Structure 1
Amino acid sequence: MKPLERIHQTAKALDRHIILSEGDDPRVAEAARRLLAEGLARVTLMGGPEIPGARRIDPAGAPDLAELADHWHRMRAARGMTGERALAEMRDPIRQAAMRVRLGQADGTLGGAVATTADTVRAA
């Protein structure tokens, strides 16, 4: 078995949930379609098009936005984070995806197609 086939087989067996934080990018939307078509992961897109089989979240209008912001505020309050700023920062899809992983809503997140490496790492 080739290495990539082995990786695919493992991914299918693990049935992981991944959040793609840059769903508005056509390349990311296509990656979501491929992941779903090949059964490699359960997918959530932050923004972007509706894709059959994928969950789509509008980062600015997520029903649990206030709850996510509250977690972020409590994590950063000692460093001067205000509730208002936490709410604004949780509207960012990369930060929101990272918070969702932290809270166990997904197994991982992937970004960096549009955002810089620094922005992606800073959110984690």
Structure 2
Amino acid sequence: KRIAERIAQIEGPVAVKGLDIKPYRDDWEGDKPEPAPEKDLTNKKVILVDDVLYTGRSIRAALDACIDRGRPAEISLAVLVDRGHRELPIRPDYIGKNIPTSRQERVRVHVQERDGEDAVLIE
């Protein structure tokens, strides 16, 4: 929501909607849901926002979820942290910070609204 507020200062109001990607993950054990009609994305400009970009599998699932809800005019990707180690050809359009990591490390992003602080932690 904070990112949407910043965009709204430049572009005008923008809608913020959550997107459940769990059923679209390649490790999900269930059927794909039907597209939700109240979230029709046909001809919309969509910006997917993720905290940490790692293998790209979550973003692939988000793309599938978007396409099931219509044909967006455009889909962009914004990430707070890009840690590398991609398994799929996914590249963000907007990156807060590139942080090289090993596969053994874990990156956690804390945001004020949920965690009481803005921080990036490497464990």
Give the TM-score category using the shorter length: 0.3 to 0.5
| TM-score in terms of structure 2 length | 0.33
Q: Higher strand fraction: Structure 1 or Structure 2?
A: 2
| TM-score in terms of structure 1 length | 0.33
Higher relative contact order (CA 8 A, sep 6+): 1
